[in-house]
Amino acid sequence: MDVTRIAAIVAALASGAFGRAASADPPAPRCAAQVVSYAPGTGTGAAYRNPLAALGPPTQFTGAGIEPGPVTPFRPAFMPGEIVSIGRGGSLVVTFEQPVLNDARNPFGIDLIVYGNAFCADAEYPSGVASGTFSEGGTIELSSDGVAWIAVPEAEADGGLPTLGYSDVEPYATEPGLAPTDPARPVDPALTPVSLEGLPWEALVAAYDGAAGGTGIDLAPLGLQSARFVRITVAADAAFVPEVDAIVAVRAPAQAADLDGDGAVNGRDLGILLGVWGACASCAADMNGDGMVDGLDLGAMLGAWS
């Protein structure tokens, strides 16, 4: 990047073109953005045939006006507008604005997460001791072009790990928590619905480790370098009718220069760096660890500019 562009960036920053220098909120997850097609199939309730419910992040708080509370493995999303049902013989196809990439840097190699409304029975109600996970299936297929499809073996759209909306609530709380989980962060795949059996609430929350649950998918074993389309189908003779809440791309680990964690190195990061210019112990902007935020760190940032 030449001096002229650096000057232009700094001038734009000074004028407020990049907004506030730092953001207190974590970046929003990148979710499926558009419904390509939806065939409801049979066995769905009329109130759950809105495919737009599968767009955006997974539900964190459910039951407004009926039985309100945070979504936990013991209380899944259940309201119309939060989930869409895919009946027997039905299908749902959604697409991302930009492809989901196969990225080995992602936690556990997982690239994509599908959220349904699976839930656990409570062996010691209301303490929250997991006792069996109820899921309803749904075959997941991926495609880079919407024409050639590859099925994800042993993965269920309405299966995997039940959704956890917050890390600081009780299993049947009635108010939102202050520590939302990250739906773009996968749970360790060693944690399975079977391994949840017998876990008390505190241990269950700890096992999620700040993630929201769902069915994690690694593109590498499928031979895919990227996927933009997701199709969920249900057999005509399926025993259950699955629901889908959200489909989310895993957030790649931020590089050192991405100070706000939004996946890009841009004016917002530059604003953060300039805001702590000078001596700064343990600052994220001190990328070379010399105790100073200075020209060396600025050079590293500009070299990673995206």
Would you state the pLDDT for residue 262? 74
Q: Are residues 159 and 280 in the same domain?
A: no
CB 72 within 8 A of CB 265: no
Residue 165 phi, psi dihedral angles, 5° rounding = -85, -30
Q: Are residues 275 and 215 in the same domain?
A: no
Residue 269 sits in a domain whose CATH number is: 1.10.1330
Q: Where are the alpha helices (DSSP H) in the chain?
A: 3-15, 201-208, 267-275, 295-303
Residue type, 178: L
Residue 205 phi, psi dihedral angles, 5° rounding = -60, -40
Would you state the pLDDT for residue 20? 39
Question: What's the rounded Cα separation, in Å, for the pair 72 and 61?
Answer: 9
Q: Are residues 237 and 289 in the same domain?
A: no
What tokens were used for 237?
């003779």
Q: Are residues 276 and 221 in the same domain?
A: no
Per the structure, the complete domain to which residue 291 belongs is given by 3-24+256-303
What tokens were used for 161?
């790990």
Kindly provide the residue ranges of all beta strands, DSSP E only, lying in the chain, ordered along the sequence.
30-31, 34-39, 61-62, 69-70, 84-85, 91-101, 112-115, 119-122, 130-134, 137-143, 150-158, 215-217, 226-233, 243-244, 246-249, 278-279, 292-293
Would you state the pLDDT for residue 21? 38
CB 111 within 8 A of CB 155: no
Q: Are residues 58 and 103 in the same domain?
A: yes
User: Looking at the 3D structure of the chain, how many domains does it have?
Assistant: 2
Give me the residues of the chain with pLDDT under 50, please.
Answer: 1-3, 13-14, 16-25
DSSP string for residues in 203-255: HHHHHHTTB--BEEE-SGGGT-SEEEEEEEE--TT-SS--EE-EEEEPPPPPP
| The domain boundary residue, chosen from 249, 278, 295 | 249
Residue type, 265: V
Kindly report, residue by residue over 285-298, the tens digit of the pLDDT: 888 777 899 988 88
Kindly report, residue by residue over 145-189, the tens digit of the pLDDT: 999 999 999 999 999 999 999 999 999 999 999 999 999 999 999
Could you give the count of Cα atoms lying within 13 Å of 292 in the half-sphere of its Cβ?
6
Would you state the pLDDT for residue 185? 95
